[in-house]
Amino acid sequence: MDPQQRIQELTQRLHHLNNQYYQHDISEVPDQEFDQMLAELQQLEKAHPDLALANSPTQRVGGTITKQFAQAQHRYPMLSLGNTYSEDDLREFDERVQRGLEGAPYTYVCEQKFDGVAMSLGYENGELHQGVTRGDGTRGDVVTANVRTIRTLPLHLRPGAPPEVEVRGEVFMPNSVFNDLNQEREQNGEALLANPRNAASGTLKLQDSAVVAARRLRFYAYSVLTPGRHFASHSESLEAAAAWGLPVSPTWQRCQNLQEVLDYIHEWAQKRFTLPVNTDGIVIKVDNLRQQDQLGLTAKSPRWAIAYKYPTAAARTELLRIEYNVGRTGAVTPVAHLTPVPLAGTIVKRASVHNANQIAALDLRLGDFVFVEKGGEIIPKITGVDLAARPAGAVPIRYPQDCPACGTPLVRPEGEAHYRCPNERACPPQLKARLEHYVSRKALNIDGLGAETVARFFDLGLVATPADIYDLPQRRAELIVLERLGEKSIDNLIAGIEKSKTVPFERVLFGLGIRYVGETVAQKLAQHYRTMAAIMAASAEELAATPEVGGVIADSLALWSQQPENQELVRRLQAAGVAMEVSGEPPRAVSDRLAGLTFVLSGVFENYSREQLQELIQQHGGKITGSISKKLSYLVAGDNMGPAKREKATTLKVPIISETELLALLPI
C-alpha cells in the first residue's frame, strides 16, 4: 500500500479509537491491536517524515523538546469573571440582567467552575493548530506540543465544525493522577505538589512533552468562539462542541430562572465532590448570545456572567492520636487520627500533619479540637486549633526520637522537613515498601504479587529484597502449603515473575526504588548510560551532568551504588535474567574531534536541546560533567545561565563559549 495512504488510514482509525475510548469508555479493539497500529504508524512516519501529520496520534506520547515558549495574542480576550460567595449577590446580579435586557425573557446556563488552567485552543479546518495559556488575558504562552498529549482532546474535529474555531476550556489533573504522582514523589523523597491545579499548571510548562504525556492531563471545553454568529445560544454551542468530539462535562444545566440556578448550586454543594476534578464554584451565564452582546462587558469582566464560589470545606473535630508511618525511603510521616466528621461529601477520620515543623507551628496536643479543611487539597489537612476548647493540662505532642517500627534513632538531614529512619537494611516497613514498589504496575508489574501478598511473603521470611522474588519459583513446595494460595495462583505468580524479565531496563531502574530516581529520571539515566554497570561506575559529578539529573539526585544515586548490599542486589537480579541494560545498538561515535575535552552545559539553547548537545559532544568523543573545575575544557553558555557558574568559570579562567562556537568545533 502507498505509504501516504496507509498513514492517513492509520491516523483516521486511531483518532476514532481514541475518541471512542476517552469520550465514550468504549474499547473497540484489544490494547495489543491498538499498540500494533500505533507502532506501525510510528515506523511509517520515521521512514517518511515528510508525510507525518502535525496532529498524528503519535503526538499523544510526546517527545517534543520546547526550549522556550513563544507568546501569542488572543483573538478574543480571555476575561475574568466577577466572584461572589453570597446568594444575595446573585439576586442583585439577576436584577441587573433584568434591567439590562429591559424586561425581555432570558435563561441561564450553569456550569461547574473547574479548578484547573484556562486554555485557548485554535482549530483550523478541523485540525488543532495552537494551544495558548490564558496569560494576562490578552497574550499567553504557546504550549501546543504539550496540549497535543492530552488524550481526551481531539487533534481533529468531527465534520460540521466551522473552518475557524477557538475553544476555551480548562486543563486539569484528575484527582486520582494527582494522588498517584504525590505518592510517587513522597516515596522518592521529593517535595509534594500543593494541589492538582498547581500540578497541572506546572506540567504545561515542562519542556519535554513526553513527561507531560506521562502526567495524564485532561481537558473540559466550556466555550466556543467563531468569526460571525454560528449559534443562537451558549447551550447550543456546548452541544455542538460535544458533537464535534470535544470533551464537555455533562454537569452543565440550562436554568429558566434564578430559583433554578439556586437549586443547581444547592444540588452540587456536595455532589461536586464525586467528580474526578476539583471544583470551587458554579459559573452562571446568560444563555442567549445576542443578549450577552446587549449586556456587554466591563473593563475586566462580562456583565452577563458571574461565578458563585462555595466556601472552603471545613470541619471541627477532636484529635485522638498521631500515627507515624515509615515510607520506602525511611521518611517518617505523621498522620492525625480524628473523631469521624463529615467534610466535603466524605467522612473524615484522618488528616495530614505533614511533618514535625507543622506539629510545632500548630502547637498540637492530644485532645485538642482542631479545624480540618479540604479546600484545593485532596487529602484533608489540619489548619488550626480551637484554643478555647483545649482541655486543661493538655501535653504538647513531641515527635518521636526513634523509629516507630524498628527503634533506630531518627535523623533529620540538613535542609529537610522530614525525620528519617537510617536503617535501610532491616527496617520492616522500608523493606516491604521497596518490595511493593518493585512489583508495582509502573515498575516490574509482576502479576500475582500485590501489596498484601508481598507483605505476607515478607512476614513469612520468603522475600526480603527484590532479588528474593526470583527464587520463589524454586520454592514452589513451600508456597503450595500456604493458605489461600492455590496451584493456579502459584502458576500465575511464577509466570508473572518470568514475564518481568522482559521489562525494559528503565523500568527496572525505577523499580529499584533509589531515592529521588522517579520514572523520568530513570528514563534519562537509561538513555544516557545504557547499562546499570555504567550508571554504578559513574561519579556523582558525572551523574549530575545527565539530563534531568541534578546534584541531589546524583549524590543519592552515587551513594546507593557504593553500598555493597546494593551491588549484590544488582548482581543477583542480573543473574536471574532481569534486564540491566538498554536493548538495541548504542549510538555510534561519529568522530574523535572532541576527544580529551570536557564540557559543562548551562542555560537554554536556541537550536538544540541540552540533551541533544550532550549527545553531539559524546558522539564526537567529548565528555560531559556537572561542575566547574580547573580541569574543565569549556563552559557552554545558553540563555538564562546561572550567574554562579559564569562567575566560577571566569574566576578559574575556564573558556566560556556559545552554542554556535561549540557547533563550530564539530565536523557538521
Q: How far apart are CA 659 and CA 645, in angstroms?
A: 16
All three cell numbers of 471: 527464587
Q: How far apart are CA 105 and CA 233, in angstroms?
A: 14
User: Is residue 480 within 8 Å of residue 487, measured between CB atoms?
Assistant: yes
Reduced to 3 states (helix: H, G, I; strand: E, B; else coil), residue 147 is: helix
User: Is residue 293 within 8 Å of residue 310, measured between CB atoms?
Assistant: no
Q: Helices in 487-578 by DSSP H: which ranges?
A: 487-499, 505-511, 519-529, 532-537, 540-544, 551-562, 564-576
- Only one residue has cell 571566569, namely 650
| Number of other CB atoms surrounding residue 120 within 10 Å | 22
Which amino acid does the sequence have at 147? V
Ranges of beta strands (E only) in 412-525 are 419-420
Give the 3-state DSSP-derived string for 299-355, with helices as H, strands as E and coil as C.
Answer: CCCECCEEEEECCCCEEEEEEEEEEEEECCCCEEEEEEEEEEEEECCEEEEEEECCC
User: Is residue 168 within 8 Å of residue 119, measured between CB atoms?
Assistant: yes
All three cell numbers of 608: 538544540
Ranges of beta strands (E only) in 344-410 are 346-352, 369-373, 381-385
Q: Helices in 29-138 by DSSP H: which ranges?
A: 31-47, 87-100
Q: What's the first-to-final CA gap in the chain, in angstroms? A: 36
Which residues lie closer than 8 Å to 102 by C-beta, 6 or more apart? Answer: none
Q: How far apart are CA 17 and CA 10, in angstroms?
A: 10
Residue 327 burial (C-beta neighbours within 10 Å; 0-12, 13-18, 19+): buried
Which amino acid does the sequence have at 168? R
Q: How far apart are CA 509 and CA 543, in angstroms?
A: 14
All three cell numbers of 111: 456550569
Please list the residues that pair with 72 across neighbouring strands.
Answer: 140
- Only one residue has cell 505532642, namely 397
The CA-atom distances, in angstroms, between 406 and each of 288, 612, 613, 636 are 67, 47, 48, 49
Which amino acid does the sequence have at 508? V
All three cell numbers of 33: 491491536
Catalytically active residues, by annotation: 113
Which amino acid does the sequence have at 540? A
What is the per-residue DSSP string for 180-240? HHHHHHHHTTPPPPS-HHHHHHHHHT-SBHHHHHHT--EEEEEEEE-SS---SBHHHHHHH
User: Is residue 398 within 8 Å of residue 334, measured between CB atoms?
Assistant: no
The β-bridge relationship of strands 314-326 and 331-343 is antiparallel
Residue 484 phi/psi, 5-degree rounding, is 60, 25
